A and B are shown apart, each in its own frame.
Chain A
Amino acid sequence: MKIFITGATGYVGHSLALTLANKGNQVNILVRNPGSVKVPVHENMHVFKGDISNRTSIRKAMEGCSYVYHTAALVKLWAKDATEFYRTNVEGTNNVLAEALEANIKKLVFTSTCGVIGASLKEPLTENDPRIATFDNDYEFTKFMAENLVKQYIHKGLFTVIVSLSKVFGPGIETHPVSVNKMIKDFIDGKTTFIPSPGTYVSNFCFIDDVVKGHQLAMEKGLAGEKYILGGENISYAAFFETLRGISKSKSKVIPTPKPLAKMVAWMQWLKHTITNEDLFFTARGLNHIYCNKSFSSSKAMQQLGYAPTALPNALEKTIQFLNLQNHAH
Chain B
Amino acid sequence: MHTKYYTLITGASEGFGKALALECAGRKMNLILVALPGPELANLANFIKRNYSVDVIGIAKDLCKEENCLALFEEVSAMKLRVNMLVNNAGLGSTLLFSEGTLRLYETQIKLNILATTMLTRLFLEQLQKNSPANVLNVGSLSCYFTLAKKQVYGATKSYIYSFSKSLRCELKARGINVSVICPGCMYTNMSGTLLLKSSGWLARQSAMNPEEVATIAIEGLLKKREVIIPGNINKFLLVLNNLIPSFLKTFFINRQMRTLNSNALKTVPPSPKPTFSDAIPYYSINLKKHNHENK
With A and B bound together, what is the CA distance between A247 and B71 in angstroms?
A: 62
Q: Please, which residue of chain B has its CB at the minimum distance from the CB of A83?
A: B288
Q: What residue of chain A has the Cβ atom nearest to residue B191's Cβ?
A: A145
Complex contact B288–A134 (CB within 8 A):
no
**B62-92 to A contact mask, C-beta < 8 Å, 1/0:** 0000000000000000000000000000000
Q: How long is the Cα–Cα vector from A148 to B47 in the complex, in angstroms?
A: 21
Number of A-B contacts (CB under 8 A): 74
Say how far A178's CB is from chain B's closest CB, in angstroms.
15
B interface, over-half SS: loop
A interface size (C-beta, 8 A): 36
Assuming the A-B contacts A130-B44, A133-B210, are A284 and B279 also in contact, with contact meaning beta carbons closer than 8 angstroms in the complex? no
Rounded to whole Å, the gap between the CB of B131 and the closest CB of chain A is 28
Q: Which residues of B have CB within 8 Å of A123?
A: 50-51
Provide the bound-state CA to CA distance between A82 and B199, in Å.
11
| Residue of A83, A130, A152, A283 most packed against chain B (CB within 10 A) | A130
Across-interface contacts of A152 in B (CB, < 8 A): 280, 282
In the complex, A42 has a CB within 8 A of chain B:
no
Q: CB within 8 Å of A: which of B111-150?
A: none
Across the interface, B47 reaches (CB within 8 A) one of A82, A129, A283, namely: A129
A281 at the interface (CB under 8 A from B): no
A270 contacts the other chain (Cβ, under 8 Å)? yes
In the bound assembly, the distance between CA atoms of A81 and B294 in angstroms comes to: 11
Q: How far is the CB of B198 from chain A (nearest CB, A)?
A: 8
Cβ contact within 8 Å between B194 and A135: yes
Render A248-273 as a binary contact track against B, CB cut-off 8 A, 1 for contact.
00000000000000000011001000
Q: Assuming the A-B contacts A91-B285, A149-B282, are A133 and B294 also in contact, with contact meaning beta carbons closer than 8 angstroms in the complex? A: no
In contact, B295 and A283 (Cβ under 8 angstroms): yes
Q: Is B43 an interface residue (CB 8 A)?
A: yes
Instruction: Please tell me if A86 contacts chain B, counting CB pairs below 8 Å.
Output: yes
Q: From A144, which residue of chain B is reached at the shortest CB distance?
A: B191
Residues from chain A with Cβ under 8 Å of B40 in the complex: 130
The docked-state distance in angstroms from the alpha carbon of A152 to that of B283 is 12
Which of A132, A149, A284 is the most central at the interface, judged by chain B CB atoms within 10 Å of its CB?
A132
Q: Say whether, besides A130-B44, A130-B47, A148 and B279 are in contact (CB < 8 Å).
A: yes
Are A135 and B188 in contact, CB atoms less than 8 angstroms apart? Answer: yes
B121 to chain A, nearest CB (A): 27
B293 surroundings in chain A (CB, below 8 A): 82, 136, 138
Given the interface pairs A82-B291, A123-B50, A285-B295, the reply to whether A130 lies near B279 with Cβ below 8 Å is no
Apart from A122-B51, A135-B188, A137-B294: 8 A-B pairs, beta carbons within 8 A: A82-B290, A130-B13, A130-B47, A136-B210, A145-B191, A145-B283, A149-B282, A286-B294
Top-10 shortest CB links A-B: A134-B210, A121-B51, A283-B294, A128-B43, A86-B286, A123-B50, A134-B188, A130-B44, A283-B295, A129-B47
Q: Supply 26 A–B pairs (Cβ within 8 Å), ascending by A.
A: A78-B292, A81-B290, A82-B290, A83-B286, A86-B286, A90-B283, A91-B284, A91-B286, A121-B51, A123-B50, A123-B51, A129-B46, A130-B13, A130-B47, A133-B210, A134-B188, A134-B211, A134-B212, A136-B210, A137-B294, A138-B293, A145-B283, A148-B280, A149-B282, A267-B295, A270-B295
Enumerate chain B interface residues (CB-CB to A < 8 A): 13, 18, 22, 39-40, 43-44, 46-47, 50-52, 188, 191, 194, 210-212, 279-280, 282-286, 288, 290-295
